[in-house]
Amino acid sequence: MLVSWSIRNERNSRVFNREPARLLGQLLTEIFEQVQLWCAAAPSTWASFSCRL
């Protein structure tokens, strides 16, 4: 879900805000940072189940 949301946001920023495209590495770094934040905020039962990177 997070990956598709990030890709959609990237597309929308290109189309509607006319921002230049970011490199794939930049987008992946942002996604991994968001995953880490989500895992840190998740309850401990969630973290052990879905936050293995």
* DSSP labels, 18-52: -PPPPPHHHHHHHHHHHHHHHHHHS-HHHHHHH--
Handedness of CA 6, 49, 47, 43 (dihedral sign): positive
Q: 1: which DSSP letter?
A: -
pLDDT-derived band at 49 (thresholds 50, 70, 90) equals low
Distances (CA, A) of 46 to 30, 41, 43: 21, 10, 5
**Mean pLDDT for the stretch of residues 34-39:** 84
**Tens of pLDDT, residues 8-29:** 999 999 999 999 999 999 999 9
pLDDT-derived band at 38 (thresholds 50, 70, 90) equals confident
